[in-house]
Structure 1
């Protein structure tokens, strides 16, 4: 299975080279994220792809993760602050259009989602959208590995700084998790040549028949 080989190859890169990732590969990774699973299919987060070096330098201030600026691209997964009735209605209308259904053809789904999300607090919405963003992060890591693009998922950043610099609050968003993309500097990354360490499958997983 080629996927297993790709996952054995990948690791969280600590040092990146100056080589840039082609926009074609970035576009394919972004498309994979867009196609990934999300609860209720609502995609309650947005993705920002940042290459601007000055901007990434600013975003990395105060963080121990130099990969924020010392890589080719930075992906910012930004969750929705609220799951509003308007968002649900607009999204369901898009579903109807893409599936060539009559307007109102998914009214039952729309009403069900509104009934579920309306009582939720903003804090509950935030937690839920963050969880969905992490599903996208997982897909991004797999897609990058398939393309032999190195990646580093990161929580070690200042969310408030990201929200301010990227103007996320004004967009109804907040920074959930980030990931750098690039190519490893094998000569200067101490993790590049070490053995990947994982629990034995028998200890990690349990089959219940």
Structure 2
């Protein structure tokens, strides 16, 4: 059943970049599993999913990450901390891995996917325009971030996307380089504190006519 139109607008109005979380409130496991799946089900170009999402649960590690997050306390006070990372240097081997997964899920011979695979590999090896593949992968990660935040809003879960952190330090502390990944953005999730003054501020947005054009 589709969500009502009013409910969608209400929750999008309700959400904001939460500056202060209530550290005593935790997201229920059943709710988190839905949010987890919102990341798994996120769209990506060619379906390649050039990413991995690291959910940091160790309290001491999260406390240490505050030092590399411009002192932003959301990192420790939020219920969940997700580090969204790209797979560095995505290449034709990643395409082969995805094709194998597609063949298994759709129950078709992998040979049937060869033409599609050649198209994707051609894009990676000789892009039709100047393109840094890590930059391309980063843009895919932001699709996942948007889906996570929207799903959270629909469930009444607060979020705060964060680029204010030191990626190199995060990578070092989380051991990402040895796994072939690089952090690009962070998202904290939980419940807003009662005294977060930003919660009640009206959204500052340009008028619809200024940002939407019909051609």
Whether the TM-score (by the shorter chain) exceeds 0.5 is: yes
2:63, 2:75 within 8 Å by CA — same for their partners in 1?
yes
Query: 1:147 — aligned with what?
Result: 155
Deviation, 1:119, is: 4.3
The RMSD of aligned alpha carbons is: 1.3
Unaligned runs of 5+ in 2: none
Counterparts of 1:68-147 in structure 2 under 5 Å?
68-119=75-126, 124-147=132-155
Query: 2:203 — aligned with what?
Result: 196
1:33 maps onto 2:39 in alignment: yes
Query: 1:11 — aligned with what?
Result: 16
SS at match of 1:191: helix
Distance 2:25 2:10 in 1: 23
Instruction: Choose the corresponding residue for 2:62, options 45, 48, 56.
Output: 56
SS at match of 2:175: coil
Q: Runs of 4 or more off by more than 4 Å in structure 1?
A: none
Q: TM-score, normalised by structure 2?
A: 0.91
Query: 1:22 — aligned with what?
Result: 28
Unaligned runs of 5+ in 1: none
Distance 2:110 2:69 in 1: 48
Alignment length (residue pairs): 205
Distance 1:124 1:62 in 2: 26
Distance 1:33 1:193 in 2: 28
